[in-house]
Amino acid sequence: MNQTGRNGIYTIQQVSDVTGLSKQVIRKWEERYELVQPERLENGYRTYKEKDVNTLLRVKVLSEKGYSIKQAVDMLEKEPESVESFFKAKQLKFEKFNDSVIQLLEKGTYCDDLELNLILQQSYHKLGLEEFISKVIIPFLKEVGDRWERDEWGEYQEAVSSMSVRDFLIQIRKTFQLRDDAPLVIGACLPEEHHELPIHIILLQFMLRGWKTVLIGASPAPGAIESLVQKLKPSIVILSASTTLPFEKDPKLLRGLDKFASEQEQVEFYIGGSGALNYLEGKELNAIQVTNDIEQILV
């Protein structure tokens, strides 16, 4: 297996792993369109930089949207300063990856959980928690999900990558020091919801602002949320549903939670996640506020 790129330098195999482009396609784009100009080692092997990886990814996204490779290259060369605006205006999905994300994607391709953990550790200690979450964890998980949806990654690749991140975030939460009198927030997946990573991230963002946190993880038992709220009496409760499965399995679930929330006068309840937002479109709740914006909660 290739060693992880150091100081933002990658082999053609690593670039292929990260971009999903074959080595033959990468060479073809380089030779025919002069898209990237890799440096050569003494043995003739190509080496690529972080900007080369992102350039290849941009062209890949444009080609998937129907543009020819030459059109995509011309766009990048003639108006490089307006590329980001173009992507935004056309609603094209592109995430610029930094070195840490590129390394994680490479190791995730090979399901190398040891290397994934080492890269996560290095990035965390280098960046600090806030930037680690915003610049590494969120972009990486977003791309993992996208690759799963596009069938570029299999179930095992997605599972190993997601679980490595989850386990690392759990370690951070366990060792995070907070004041004894800090306010408490409970984060909970809904019953039948198994995607707990969004709640881990949200609770860490609360911890950065001085909050104690308690997590009710994947698919809690019916009544578990209500019982813990009554026992711990938090200031805030965050409910999460990345899918609509909780509402499909139990159409009365949200109505019951909303009624319970209305009876807790000292507790603010919020619900978020793509599944919740989709399900709640056009619906109204009495006591639970709907949002995907943590800043709105902490106002």
Sign of the torsion formed by the C-alpha atoms of 19, 23, 24 and 26: positive
Provide the residue range defining the domain that includes 76.
1-90
CA–CA–CA angle 114, 273, 204 (5° rounding): 50
Same domain, 2 and 85: yes
Same domain, 206 and 279: yes
Of 141, 175, 209, the residue at which a domain comes to its end is 175
Domain total of the chain: 3
> In percent, how much of the chain has pLDDT > 90?
65
CATH of the domain at 198: 3.40.50.280
Of 90, 115, 149, the residue at which a domain comes to its end is 90
Predicted local confidence at residue 1, as pLDDT: 38
Residues 6+ apart with CB under 8 A from 264: 229, 287
> What percentage of the chain's residues is helix, strand, coil (to nearest 5)?
55, 10, 30
Of 120, 155, 175, the residue at which a domain comes to its end is 175
- The answer to whether 19 and 57 have CB atoms below 8 angstroms apart is yes
Same domain, 168 and 185: no
Q: Categorize the per-residue pLDDT at 3 as very low, low, confident or very high, splitting at 50, 70 and 90.
A: very low
Residue 16 CA to residue 26 CA, distance in Å, equals 8
Same domain, 152 and 191: no
Q: What pTM was computed for the model?
A: 0.83
Q: Inform me whether the pLDDT recorded for 67 exceeds 60.
A: yes
Same domain, 204 and 144: no
What does the pLDDT look like over 109-151, one tens digit per residue? 999 999 999 999 999 999 999 999 999 999 999 999 988 988 8
Residues 6+ apart with CB under 8 A from 44: none
CATH of the domain at 130: 1.10.1240.10
